[in-house]
Chain A
Amino acid sequence: AQKVTQAQTEISVVEKEDVTLDCVYETRDTTYYLFWYKQPPSGELVFLIRRNSFDEQNEISGRYSWNFQKSTSSFNFTITASQVVDSAVYFCALSEARTGGFKTIFGAGTRLFVKA
């Protein structure tokens, strides 16, 4: 069955600290997509990254980096030198090709507090 687990409900860090948000997924499909979204206090979900199951290459975008490991079914997200503006809820999501890709399953989210 399709499942996304974000075990960290809330994380609190001080500005400039590095923080890693964990995401573990379950799928029976060999073709799938993984996503990270950011939800600031305004509420709108902002797309951050998409990875397909055939691309295990890690990615870095500015202070953000993602570590995709199929062996552990994890897709973790690291923010380097966190800033107050990073405070938000972050969602990891999974979409399976065999279900037509419609059923994107979201994790419960991790609320990140970055204190000045």
Chain B
Amino acid sequence: SQTIHQWPATLVQPVGSPLSLECTVEGTSNPNLYWYRQAAGRGLQLLFYSVGIGQISSEVPQNLSASRPQDRQFILSSKKLLLSDSGFYLCAWSDRVGETQYFGPGTRLLVL
């Protein structure tokens, strides 16, 4: 069966510090991968998606970036965090376009 992991679970970072969140998927090959952000009490905003290694599409302009160095690894990064980057970050995968997305446990990021 497929599983998706995210770490860390919780992170508190000062403004201006770098960020690296990691997501890995097991039990499937060539998945579509997604990063979402959920602000407190709000819905989900798609940040990035990837259909293959090195292929990243950005949905919203921001100071975040994403990379996919391996087939089942998806990384969300920032060189300098802003207060507005605080939120709950969710990684998801799907087998094919339009198919069901399955979500990881999420990372709660607080930027102070």
* Contact for A107 among B43, B101, B104, CB less than 8 A: B43
What residue in chain A is nearest B96 (Cβ atoms)? A101
Q: Which residues of A contact B46 (CB under 8 A)?
A: 102-104
Report which of B43, B57, B88 forms a contact with A106, defined as CB distance below 8 A: B43
Residue of A nearest to B59 (CB): A103
Task: List residues of chain B with CB under 8 Å of any chain A CB.
Answer: 32, 34, 42-44, 46, 49, 57, 59, 88, 90, 92, 96-106, 108
**B106 and A43 form a contact (CB under 8 A):** yes
Pair B100/A35 contact, Cβ less than 8 Å: yes
Contact mask A40-54 → B, CB, 8 Å, 1/0? 001111110010000
| Chain A residues with a Cβ under 8 A of chain B | 33, 35, 37, 42-47, 50, 91, 95-97, 100-104, 106-109
Considering the chains assembled together, what is the distance between the CA atoms of A35 and B44 in angstroms? Answer: 14
Q: Which residues of A contact B96 (CB under 8 A)?
A: 101
A101 to B57, CA, bound (A): 13
Among candidates A42, A45, A97, A106, residue contacting B98 with C-beta atoms closer than 8 Å = A97
Q: Which residues of B are found within 8 Å of A95, using beta-carbon distances?
A: 98
Instruction: Please state if B100 and A42 are interface contacts (CB–CB under 8 Å).
Output: no
Given the interface pairs A91-B43, A102-B49, the reply to whether A43 lies near B98 with Cβ below 8 Å is no
